[in-house]
């Protein structure tokens, strides 16, 4: 069985980061070891959340795993809360990156704004992770922060290509931008690799709502797909369809929660499609 490490927080309630990565990646038939970076009562879009930092546990976990000689097929990072955590993640890339795919979801912003708690200097620190990444998976807001580029709500393919090239220039081997739309009613993912081939694009129906945690759900499914042997464009298409299905199921529920999507009941369809 393939085995990966996922490094991100536990938001105890809120359906994001580790509480979605672990079930989705496990259901895809991949062992998911976790390095919890912090425990929060909810994700940071709620007010009054609690926060317990676990940075001090990150290095001892790596020390132990190294002593035991564990090897991994991927290292997947998501939301990170501090400069020091980014530096420790670089150590994970060095210690466990051999023969592993390094996949970075720089979860820190959306809709043109950084999430609560991040200062303006944090994106440049997060951008350091691109140097060793096989794949980086930002939304457009995150990509603009990583590149210190102006965020645009209206754009064309030339602008998106320039952003993707900027991410490759920072060292990523493949860059994928999520939440991209060139056509009313369609939303998708656009990616470019170092080979510089025409970018690959995949779109689904744009559903009339936006929920928190969908970026993490998308990345988790993409990581699972890549580790299970799909090509990057195939894994991105699988993740886009899965995420759209989660939103569809959520909207079909009366009184659905506003904080996260129904990723749970879309898992059987994901597993079936993967043949896991």
Which chain residues interact with ligand PXL by CB under 6 A? Answer: 9, 11, 16-17, 40, 43-45, 79, 107, 115, 213, 215-216
Tell me the closest approach of the beta carbon of residue 252 to ligand PXL, in angstroms.
Answer: 23
Nearer to ligand PXL, 136 or 192 (CB): 136
Tell me the closest approach of the beta carbon of residue 68 to ligand PXL, in angstroms.
Answer: 28
End-to-end, the C-alpha distance of the chain in Å comes to: 11
What span, in angstroms and rounded, lies between the C-alpha atoms of 6 and 21? 7
Please check whether residue 139 is in contact with residue 179, taking contact to mean a CB–CB distance below 8 angstroms. Answer: yes
Tell me the closest approach of the beta carbon of residue 267 to ligand PXL, in angstroms.
Answer: 18
Nearer to ligand PXL, 115 or 151 (CB): 115
Nearer to ligand PXL, 203 or 218 (CB): 218
What span, in angstroms and rounded, lies between the C-alpha atoms of 43 and 6? 17
Nearer to ligand PXL, 79 or 263 (CB): 79
Which of 222, 212, 256, 213 has the alpha carbon at shortest distance from 242? 222
Tell me the closest approach of the beta carbon of residue 143 to ligand PXL, in angstroms.
Answer: 15
Return phi, psi of residue 22, to 5°: -60, -55
Tell me the closest approach of the beta carbon of residue 33 to ligand PXL, in angstroms.
Answer: 18
Nearer to ligand PXL, 200 or 262 (CB): 262
Question: How open is the CA angle 269-275-276, to the nearest 5 degrees?
Answer: 90
Nearer to ligand PXL, 49 or 151 (CB): 49
Nearer to ligand PXL, 123 or 215 (CB): 215
Tell me the closest approach of the beta carbon of residue 234 to ligand PXL, in angstroms.
Answer: 24
DSSP characters over 78-105: ----SHHHHHHHHHHHHHH-TTSEEEE-
Nearest residue relative to ligand PXL (C-beta): 44
Which of 168, 158, 159, 17 has the alpha carbon at shortest distance from 81? 17
DSSP characters over 133-196: -SEE--BHHHHHHHHT----SS--HHHHHHHHHHHHHTT-SEEEEEEE-SSTTEEEEEEEETT-
Please check whether residue 222 is in contact with residue 238, taking contact to mean a CB–CB distance below 8 angstroms. Answer: yes
Tell me the closest approach of the beta carbon of residue 185 to ligand PXL, in angstroms.
Answer: 25
């Amino acid at each position: 069985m393939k085995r990966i490490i996922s490094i991100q927080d536990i938001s105890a309630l809120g359906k994001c980061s580790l509480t979605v990565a672990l079930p989705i990646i496990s259901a895809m038939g991949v062992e998911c070891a976790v390095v919890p970076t912090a425990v929060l009562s909810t994700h940071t879009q709620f007010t009054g959340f609690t926060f317990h930092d676990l940075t001090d546990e990150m290095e001892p976990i790596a020390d132990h795993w190294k002593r035991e000689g564990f090897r991994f097929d991927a290292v997947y990072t998501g939301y990170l809360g501090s400069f020091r955590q980014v530096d420790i993640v670089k150590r994970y890339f060095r210690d466990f990156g051999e023969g592993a795919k390094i996949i970075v979801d720089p979860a820190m912003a959306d809709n043109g704004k950084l999430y609560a708690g991040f200062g303006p200097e944090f994106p440049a620190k997060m951008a350091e992770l691109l140097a060793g990444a096989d794949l980086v998976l930002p939304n457009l807001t995150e990509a603009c922060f990583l590149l210190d580029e102006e965020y645009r709500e209206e754009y064309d393919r030339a602008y998106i290509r320039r952003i993707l090239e900027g991410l490759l220039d920072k060292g990523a081997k493949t860059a994928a931008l999520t939440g991209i739309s060139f056509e009313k009613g369609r939303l998708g993912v656009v990616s470019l690799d170092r080979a510089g081939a025409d970018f690959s694009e995949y779109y689904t129906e744009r559903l009339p709502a936006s929920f928190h945690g969908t970026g993490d759900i998308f990345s988790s499914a993409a990581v699972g797909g890549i580790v299970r042997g799909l090509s990057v464009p195939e894994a991105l298409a699988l993740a886009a369809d899965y995420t759209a299905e989660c939103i569809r199921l959520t909207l079909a529920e009366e009184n659905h929660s506003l904080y996260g999507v129904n990723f749970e009941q879309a898992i059987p369809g994901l597993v079936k499609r993967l043949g896991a």
